[in-house]
Amino acid sequence: MGFFKGLTYNWRGLQMGLRTPKLLFLGLVRFAAVALVTVVCAGLILAYHEQILAMLWTKPESAWVVWLWHLVSWLVSLLLIGISTIVSYIITQILFSVFIMDLMSRFTERRLTGKVEEPTAMPIFTQLIFLVKQETPRAIIPIVITLFIMLIGWLTPLGPIVTVVSSLAAAVFLAWDNTDLVPARRMMPFKTRFAYLGKHLAFHTGFGLWFLIPIMNLLFLSFAPVGATMFHVDAQADPESPAQA
């Protein structure tokens, strides 16, 4: 049930973002930045995709198996392009996107509830600095875990399978990067927010699955803060929500 809720909220967020002029503008700014970096990363992957696959699975000599190698080759390339989008997202995120994401989240919450719920009154600049500080563990932990999974793939014969698992893990963490905006703004402890991710893996898997669709993932990544904020607004009555913790 949580998996399909995740799919639905990301889709609803994209629809609301495309229909709302201010959200559309902010989302397109993020879209342009992510698209530019993604094109560069994806170009490098396509240029060296055979070399990359060779590290995972050496091209077989048997004609009965080589067709499967070619199929896996392009499937892995598509997955790597999805990962390149994720890497591009992280790069632009660290540079400036966290500010745009917070603006989108605030606008969405105000539009749905008439106000932005915050624990204490403080200057918006101070809150943005706090959000940037939150990005440090929120960015480092997912990267370390994803790289660890990919390392297992390089050191074992399960490379293609591990590549899929690492892509799903990256998608989950990207989903959390968006669903964590509201709790972070409300000054919830990082430990509480990370524990909430573990309890709702199915939801975050569904929410992040859209991020693995080449090309379309750029749109979903750009407007994901909208769907994530809609989720928290609807989850106010949920006692397990970090907003209620």
Residue 240, domain member (yes or no): no
Residue 245, domain member (yes or no): no
pLDDT of residue 43: 79
Residue 92, domain member (yes or no): yes
Residue 225, domain member (yes or no): yes
pLDDT of residue 245: 45
| Number of domains present in the structure of the chain | 1
**Contact in structure between 232 and 183 (CB atoms under 8 Å):** yes
The whole-number mean pLDDT for each consecutive block of 10 residues of the chain, a chain of 245 residues, reads 88 93 89 78 73 67 69 73 68 69 89 79 66 65 68 65 75 86 81 85 91 83 91 73 47
pLDDT of residue 89: 64
**Contact in structure between 221 and 103 (CB atoms under 8 Å):** no
Q: Which residues of 41-76 are buried (b: 16+ CB within 10 A; e: fewer)?
A: bbeebeeebeebbeebeeeeeeeeeeeeeeebbeeb
Whole-prediction pTM: 0.68
Find, among 135, 209, 224, the residue nearest to 171 by Cα: 209
Residue 183, domain member (yes or no): yes
Residue 218, domain member (yes or no): yes
Residue 149, domain member (yes or no): yes
Residue 127, domain member (yes or no): yes
Find, among 140, 240, 137, 121, the residue nearest to 186 by Cα: 121
pLDDT of residue 228: 93
Q: Which domain holds residue 39?
A: 2-234
pLDDT of residue 242: 46
